Chains A and B, each alone.
Chain A
Amino acid sequence: MAEFLLEIFCEEIPARMQGKAARDLGNGLQKSLKDAGFEFGEIQTFAGPRRLTLVITDLPEKSPDVSEERKGPRVGAPEQALAGFMRGAGISSMDKCEQREDKKGKFWVAKIEKPGRAAEQVLAETTPQIMADFPWPKSMKWGSGSFRWVRPLHGIVCLLDGKVVPFEVAGIASGNQTMGHRQMGPGPFLVSSFADYREHLEGEGHVVLDAGDRKARISEQIKQICQQHKLSLVEDPALLDEVAGLAEWPVVLLGQMDEAFLDLPPEVITLSMAKHQKYFSVNNAKTGKLAPHFLVVANLAAPDGGTAIAQGNARVLTARLADARYFWDTDRTQTLRSRVNALHDVVFHQKLGSVYDKAMRVAALAKELAPKMGADPELAERAAWLAKADLTTQMVVEFTSLQGVIGRYYALADGEDMAVADAIRDHYKPQGPTDAVPTDPVSIAVALADKLDTLVGFWAIDEKPTGSKDPYALRRAALGVIRILLENKVRLPIPAELSSFVFDRLKVHLREQGFSHDLIDAVISQAGADLVAIVARVEALSTFLATADGEQLLAGTKRAANIVKVEQKKQSETIVGEVDVKLLIEPEEKALFAALETASQTAAKAITAEDYTAAMAALAPLRGPIDAFFDEVMVNDKQENLRVNRLKLLSGIRSALTPVADFDRIAG
């Protein structure tokens, strides 16, 4: 059993591509070794800024011999057929074949012996192929060559139990030599095994091989610095992933930010740090407010403890924030309301007009919707009218993700109402399934109007999402509408053209909340277009069915429905019409009839009063009479009129329950 070590060394691999590259390399080797008949121990891959590494343990030196049989033509078949068969099976004469017999007669079988192949040989063939076919998101050529890699390739370590597996890729011969950290490493060194490779690399090589280890080191250093300086990290997992892909030897340094910039919005500072400089921002641990510091992850342990690096980074940050300050100051020389007209020049969608057109539609709709959520219609209209105006500010052009946030600051500076300012910020919410929904009535009105306008608009021009394609994020908009309505208990009928799409999103949403989809179906088919009512019913139904009464009642209705179904099928008849009271003879069927009357009336009243728990409670007493009916009454009476009447009574159970939910749709 041997160990296989592969390192592909190249110029800096973009951080965002490293993780997938390691997986692709692992999958590539795994597949080609399996295809060649190898079984092996463990396969591990690593990616960093300048190298992809793979190690396989317990790889046999040779793949097992394989013998396979191949069925050929029948004995006595024409020469041509035999020749074709031999060609296909890769044999030179029919001597290598034997005859077998089945029901149809005698036929030829070739026995093909495939000797195992040396691992070294297989790896020398497949590794270059995997590299040539490597699925980089973007690749390039360099120099005079034609090979494509993510960036120029510089070295390949390829060892099977310490011995070089020889091949050449892009003019580079595989070998046993690699490099450590560009600055801190000892220069080229030889490696003999994975353990040796890793030890050298992580020791004097100053390269942390594993991305997870690099992240852990960064987090640990951040923790220590924060503790020491009474700071708390503003968490940013995506940034952590990225910086772990930008340093082979990560060293976290605390930098000082010019305090004068703290009057800029904290969102601007944090984003400027993260987006432009890849710095983490930190809060004062006591006040929770942004602190005038930043954390930078360097790729060097400098002899001065990183002082020069931290100072250099601080200067760059000053320049960045000076730019932000310039945008902040020049943007505010103009009021937000004076920017609304400029939205004429911002295209929303070719067929749906400019952002100005959209803002006007949303304003009208927000005003109309406002009373439903207790918002001041004038404020809602004003907020919607201003909501998109910050798209023309330099700050939002520079930091797109701060749209709304910036508008709020500028609105406040202009003296707009606080509710208007908040709505400008919050009307984009929720931006995803975990983002908070707006709760202030004016914000709710504008957020709903904005999303409904988007949905109705794209529906009108037939740009609905299909499959995985949803370029205008309409599913997110629909989920936003759903969550805003439900979490604020706002009663609003969904526009008819959107209802099936919104109901589908609602089902997905409720399923994620743990409700089973059959309950949702059972309720949606009976309820109107009011999502709040639908969910209240689902909740009440779900609670009820979890009780013994509910469970039994469901079982009873299923049994009744089945009997009716079977009889209808048998007799090819349809059971319709009212139960004939005069034909009710047995006390149990009389009792059931009476109970159904009472239950359906009480339930209907409760539903009108939107008391779904009471509606369910009204159904609970049905359990006894239904059970008693099945215990004591023969449905299939010899007298046809009694039989039909009893079937009508049974189908009456379903009708009595229908105002609450379609029990047929509930899984038994």
Chain B
Amino acid sequence: MSKPPKQPLSFQDLILTLQHYWAEQGCVILQPHDLEVGAGTLHPATTLRSLGPKPWNAAYVQPSRRPADGRYGENPNRLQHYYQFQVLLKPSPDNLQELYLNSLRAIGIDMDLHDVRFVEDDWENPTVGAWGLGWEVWCDGMEVSQFTYFQQVGGLEVNPVSGELTYGLERLATYVQGVDSIYDLAFNNDGVTYADVFQENERQFSHFNFTHADTEMFTRWFADAERQCGILLEQNLPLPAYDFVLKASHAFNILDARGVVSATERASYIKRVRDLAKGCAQSWVALEEAG
């Protein structure tokens, strides 16, 4: 176990420490998936790799986009673009809670002084037909991670079960650094703040998400992605097919943020994405079990 650092970790050191910690636990350290996604779970290294019989341990940072959460860079706690640190361990090891708690120690959280709690939270992602049981992990009342034992992904029962850890990096960092606003985070130890890196990004993308995103174009893109995904599934190519699930999902998120999706349409969009995701899951599992 690493020794607790003396001064709080910068945002980038937090990431580097987690990567190092999980590398030591035998995870492959991946890079972000190169598409817009709503959460780290949607990286194919989690969604697809959690399916099928083969063991798999991976960790990575995933930039995540939730267009509707944009606040023009003015809210200290809400962003439309943020980072998640994702760990997937398949099968889930017996000491997963201990491994997780040690990762918190590694980033400098003193467990004698801070109150870490596992609070029931059953995770569900209807757009990819996935659910699991687990907790929100609270540190002094702050939700710092989501801890889930996957039970179903892409509408399929998983066997073996994966343990998934998702760290909300900005929140965790505000906690570790003791600042009230994400924008005040030290990005590195040389005076660069989170605001320097991302505040303008938040402002511009909020305008884009809420006002200037071309809804006709995104509607078309959704349909195009759906069609391409179907063609790829017919060819038994779940990996590229899954990329188009992600593109469709993001197009839907933009349309949703623009406020042009009614309640009934919303359910239908989500179902269309889920059907595609299920197709990918089935195709992937068939290939995994065959090989």
Chain A residues with CB under 8 Å of chain B are 11-12, 14-16, 49, 138-144, 150-152, 154, 182-183, 246-247, 277-279, 296, 298-300, 302-304, 308-309, 311-313, 315-319, 322-323, 326, 345-347
Contacts and interface: CB of A to CB of B under 8 A. Distances in A.
Given A246-B119, A303-B112, A317 B141 contact: yes
Give the top 4 A-B pairs by smallest Cβ distance, nearest first: A312-B140, A14-B120, A12-B118, A313-B141
A318 B139 CA distance: 15
B277 interface: no
Contacts of B262: 345
Contacts of A300: 112, 114-115
B161 interface: yes
A307 B116 CA distance: 15
Contact of A143 (B91, B114, B118, B132): B91
Interface of B: 71, 75-78, 91-94, 96-97, 101, 111-120, 122, 132-135, 139-142, 149, 151, 159-161, 163, 174-175, 178, 180, 262-263
A471 to B, nearest CB: 19
B133 A151 contact: yes
B140 A142 contact: no
A378 B101 CA distance: 62
Contacts of A308: 113-114, 140
B222 to A, nearest CB: 21
A303 B112 CA distance: 7
Nearest to A141: B161
A138 B113 contact: no
Contact of B161 (A142, A182, A309, A317): A142
Given A14-B120, A316-B142, 12 more contacts: A141-B161, A142-B161, A144-B159, A298-B115, A300-B112, A302-B112, A308-B140, A312-B115, A316-B140, A319-B180, A345-B263, A347-B263
Contact of B133 (A140, A183, A246, A326): A140
B120 A16 contact: yes
A309 B113 contact: yes
Contact of B118 (A11, A279, A303, A323): A11
A296 B141 contact: yes
Contact of A152 (B115, B116, B132, B149): B149
Nearest to A330: B71
A17 to B, nearest CB: 8
B132 to A, nearest CB: 7
A312 B139 contact: yes
A144 B77 CA distance: 38
A323 B171 CA distance: 14
B112 to A, nearest CB: 6
B114 A309 contact: yes
A21 B114 CA distance: 29
Contacts of B139: 312
Contact of B75 (A144, A150, A299, A322): A322
Nearest to B182: A319
B161 to A, nearest CB: 5
A309 B160 contact: no
Given A312-B175, A317-B141, A142 B92 contact: yes
Contacts of A302: 112-115
A330 to B, nearest CB: 10
A208 to B, nearest CB: 16
Nearest to A306: B115
Contacts of A247: 117
A322 B183 CA distance: 15
A144 B159 CA distance: 7
14 contacts: A11-B118, A138-B122, A141-B161, A142-B163, A152-B149, A182-B101, A278-B119, A299-B115, A299-B117, A309-B114, A313-B141, A318-B180, A323-B78, A326-B71
Given A142-B161, A309-B115, A315-B142, A11 B97 contact: yes
A570 B263 CA distance: 72
Given A144-B160, A154-B94, A299-B117, A323 B133 contact: no
Nearest to A245: B120
B261 to A, nearest CB: 11
A296 B114 CA distance: 13
A12 B135 contact: yes
A154 B96 CA distance: 12
Contacts of A278: 119
Nearest to A315: B180
Contacts of A298: 115
B94 A143 contact: yes
A322 B151 contact: no
A141 B180 contact: no
A559 B238 CA distance: 88
Given A11-B118, A140-B132, A322-B76, A183 B112 contact: yes
Contacts of A277: 141
Contacts of B96: 152
Contacts of A299: 115, 117
B140 A313 contact: yes
Contacts of B161: 140-144
Contacts of A154: 94
Contacts of A296: 141
B76 A319 contact: yes
A336 to B, nearest CB: 19
Contacts of A143: 91-94, 160-161
Contact of B141 (A303, A316, A322): A316
B151 A141 contact: yes
Contacts of B180: 315, 318-319
Given A140-B151, A152-B149, A312 B263 contact: no
B265 to A, nearest CB: 11
B115 A322 contact: no
B149 A142 contact: yes
B248 to A, nearest CB: 24
A578 B134 CA distance: 80
Given A12-B118, A144-B91, A312-B114, A322 B133 contact: no
A183 B92 contact: no
Given A143-B92, A144-B91, A312-B141, A246 B77 contact: no
A303 B113 contact: yes
